[in-house]
Amino acid sequence: MFGRDPWGGSLEISHADSATDDDRSRNLQDLDRAALSRQLDETQQSWLLKKYVDLGCMVVSRKHFLWTVGSILGAALLVGLIVLIVKTLPHHRPRPPPPDKYTQALHKALMFFNAQRSGPLPKHNNVSWRGNSGMQDGMSNGGTKKNLVGGYYDAGDAINWSVIEYSAKYEAAGELEHVKEIIKWGTDYLLKTFNSSADTIDEIAAQVGAGDTSKDTNPNDHYCWTRPEDIDYERPVYTCHSCSDLASEMAAALAAASIVFKDSKTYSDKLVHGAATLWKYGRSQKGRYSPNGADSSIFYNSTSYWDEFVWGGAWLYYATGNSSYLALATHPTMAKHAGAFWGGPFYGVFSWDNKLPGAQVLLSRLRLFLSPGYPYEEILQTFHNQTSIVMCSFLPIFNTFNRTRGGLIQLNHGAPQPLQYVVKAAFLATVFSDYMETVGSPGWTCGPNFYPIEVLRNFARTQIDYILGDNPLKMSYVVGYGKKYPKHVHHRGASIPKNGVKYGCKGGWKWRDTKNPNPNTIIGAMVAGPDRFDGFKDVRTNYNYTEPTLVGNAGLVAALIALSDIRTGIDKNTIFSAVPPFFPPCRLLPQLGSHDRKTRKTRKTRSPGHLLSLSLSLSLSFCTIPPQGAFALSHLHGAASQISPPLQSLLR
């Protein structure tokens, strides 16, 4: 067959070439398989290995393969290097916010106790100008020799209570171990002052050293002005055989400390035993530790021991759970003798001579949280109501106490050294407001008017703020806090330089009388404070302005930790660790037995007596649950809209 050839001539079309496309494709595939099945010689294989890499699932170019692997390894090395650099460089985390002013002042206030230690000082005492002192105390006391080395110069309380209530705050501030060490330094010394291992005692070492200068000029702690480390005169020991006030106060301190150290059972038990021994002695040998004419009556004259009975009984009850202590502390006759119904100018003023206000707040806690009921309710309710009245007296609207123009409350009615009373009132106001908040009470009433708890806290803040410098003189009365504070503190150790020279009894007078600032700064010391006109004289010889005390600083520490901005609240349960339940534990309803199932089928034939018996048995299977956080309904009376107009300014 011929066709026309466009290039000329004829075109022959062969039938052999007329195979379909499918035939050609099959032929080509056969050729490919033949080629692949044919073995490559060594030259060909070598050439392929240089150009390609067989990965099993695929064949890739060697060049691309090496580039990919190198990139991955390089990236891995870079990431590892970055991680190494990040881990070795210091981390710049955002700094936590600075502590609030109350916490800052707390750190300093606690340092004061380190400066007041007597005896062999620990290496970490952190007061460079102090050293071992009083190393012969008690050993030169005539016929009776007793090791009375240690303790503090001066005395104080209230720290135990604040640690129990605010242990989480102390821990958050980084001061829990420090404050517990301060407490133990004091309780270890108290255990030395009597036979703490005995069940019965007949005397207590009440005072070491003398201070009366009215009879002669023999060297003593007031006549001489010398560093404690350089004391070389005899320091007599005064023992008492009938001192209910001192014994009960010591019992309260040891009992409270036993709760602080409850995790150390051996030491806690030792403290409880000592407290019980002191309490028994104080109750059996009634009398004041400072009778007329005694050296102690000149400086710390106790007016009564009944308030210490209430105070000590309350703490011993919390420490032991023994209801006999609570029964005595809440006995109406005890309350009467303690002055609960007397009133007077110092009613409600918590001080070293008047423990009743503190005891009333402490026992109000029991009523608020546990509501023990009969037979304690009568006096507990009385104490609770009286505490509310005391809190009302702190408010300026009632004019119970005068105030300086700068706002400082005059709890001691214009007498010198006001701050030790102010700080304790601030603590009581704050802790009582925390009690109310914890049980869900929004405030309390003073007569017909309702006041929210924030008003009470505002009172405490304004008083502590005054002490920290918010006053007409812009003077901080805590040494080392703020830019302006007293520089001539009435303190022997701080006023005499530690220069290797031993100044005798009269040799230190020149340091007492100099107008130069103290060579040593006694950090954290709260001085006696201003006068009733907001005036202050930074004069070393005028102790009414510039003398610090442990009793003052103890109250300051308690108020500062209570007011600090660390939001942990009070510890609701630790103080009740040893207190047994006032109500029987709940019992579940009994399950119906075979007899009950039988009587169900024949219940129409039950007699009235049987129904009564069944009713009683079911009712007895329940229990009475104490109203947690019970408080007087009067505390809920009114509303915020009923707040009297004069108080509106306090809330702004």
What's the CA gap between 98 and 49, in Å, rounded? 70
236-251 core/surface letters (b: 16 or more CB in 10 A; e: else): ebbbbebbbbbbbbbb
Amino acid residing at 565? D
The predicted structure's pLDDT at residue 39: 56
**DSSP 8-state secondary structure symbol assigned to residue 52:** E
Taking only the tens place, the pLDDT of each residue in 431-446 is 999 999 999 999 999 9
- Tell me, what's the pLDDT at 617? 33
Please report whether residue 7 resides in a domain: no
Determine the average pLDDT of the residues in 32-49: 53
Asked whether residue 123 carries a pLDDT value surpassing 60, the answer given is yes
pLDDT at 5: 47
Among 291, 283, 258, 263, CA closest to 273: 258
Query: Using an 8 Å Cβ cutoff, are 204 and 250 in contact?
Result: yes
Catalytic, out of 165, 307, 547, 635: 547
What gap in Å lies between CA 486 and CA 493, rounded to an integer? 15
Cα–Cα–Cα angle for 128, 153, 512, nearest 5°? Answer: 70
The domain that holds 478 is classified in CATH as: 1.50.10.10
**What pTM, to 2 d.p., does this model score?**
0.78
Q: What is the pLDDT of residue 291?
A: 79
Distances in Å between the Cα of 299 and the Cα atoms of 53, 213, 222, 352, 544 are 101, 12, 11, 12, 13
Active site residue 42: no
490 is catalytic: yes
> How many Å apart are CA 384 and CA 381, to the nearest integer?
5
User: Per-residue pLDDT for 35 more than 60?
Assistant: no
Which is the catalytic residue, given 175, 434, 538, 635? Answer: 538
Q: For position 74, what pLDDT does the model report?
A: 81
Q: In the predicted model, is pLDDT for residue 1 greater than 90? A: no
pLDDT for residue 643: 33
**Predicted confidence (pLDDT) per residue in 442-474, tens digit:** 999 999 999 999 999 999 999 999 999 999 999
Residue 141 confidence (pLDDT): 62
Question: Where does the pLDDT of residue 42 fall: very low under 50, low under 70, confident under 90, or very high at 90 and above?
Answer: low
Provide the pLDDT confidence category of residue 142 given band limits of 50, 70 and 90.
Answer: low
Question: Does residue 303 register a pLDDT over 60?
Answer: yes
Give CA–CA dist 24/22, Å, rounded: 5
CA distance 390 to 401: 11
Q: Is residue 282 part of a domain?
A: yes
- pLDDT tens, residue by residue, 221-269: 889 999 999 999 989 999 999 999 999 999 999 999 999 999 999 999 9
Most confidently predicted of 45-54, 240-249, 297-306: 240-249
The neighbouring-strand residues paired with 478 are: 526
Residue 214: what pLDDT?
78
At 310, the amino acid letter reads V
**262, 576 Cβ separation under 8 angstroms:** no
Q: How confident is the model at residue 632 (pLDDT cuts 50, 70, 90)?
A: very low
Q: What is the mean pLDDT of residues 201-211?
A: 90
pLDDT band at 173 (very low <50, low <70, confident <90, very high): very high
CA pair distance 249, 227, nearest whole angstrom = 29
Minimum mean pLDDT among 84-88, 107-111, 226-230, 405-409: which range?
84-88
Active site residue 377: no
Backbone angles phi, psi at 90, to 5 degrees: -65, 140
Residue-wise pLDDT for 579-605, tens only, equals: 999 875 544 444 434 444 333 333 333
What local confidence, expressed as pLDDT, does residue 21 receive? 55
Count of beta carbons in the 10 Å neighbourhood of residue 133: 20
490-515: pLDDT as tens digits: 999 999 999 999 999 999 999 999 99
> What confidence score (pLDDT) does residue 250 get?
97
For residue 206, being part of any structural domain is answered with: yes
Residue 650 has a pLDDT of: 32
SS3 117: strand
pLDDT at 126 over 70: yes
Decide if pLDDT at 319 tops 50.
yes
Q: What pLDDT was estimated at residue 537?
A: 98
How large is the average pLDDT for residues 264-292?
Answer: 94
SS3 percent helix, strand, coil of the chain, rounded to 5, is 50, 5, 45
Cβ-contact 175, 207 below 8 angstroms: no
Residue 391 has a pLDDT of 98
| Distance from C-alpha of 410 to C-alpha of 408, rounded to nearest angstrom | 6
Average of per-residue pLDDT across 101-114: 97
Q: Per the domain annotation, does 621 fall within a domain? A: no
The residue written with tokens 């050609």 in the block is 24
* Residue 65 reports pLDDT greater than 80: no
Residue 96 binned pLDDT confidence (cut-offs 50, 70, 90): low
**pLDDT confidence of residue 80:** 81
Closest CA to 111 of 181, 166, 164: 181
**Distance between CA 278 and CA 201 in Å, rounded?**
8
Domain that holds residue 469: 101-576
Total domains in the chain come to 1
Give the type of residue at 627.
P
Residue 625: the pLDDT is 37
Query: Is 542 part of a structural domain of the chain?
Result: yes
Catalytic residue among 178, 490, 491, 635: 490
Please name every residue paired with 12 in a beta bridge, in sequence order, or none if there are none.
2
510 to 354, 507, 516: CA distances (angstroms) = 38, 7, 11
Instruction: Give a yes or no: residue 535 inside a domain.
Output: yes
Closest CA to 429 of 400, 468, 395, 473: 395
- For β-strands 10-12 and 2-4, DSSP reports them as antiparallel
**Residues 353-358: what's their mean pLDDT?**
96
Say if 641 falls within a structural domain. Answer: no
pLDDT for 589: 40
3-state SS class at 11: strand
Which residue do the tokens 């070491």 mark?
208
The reply to whether 19 falls in a domain is no
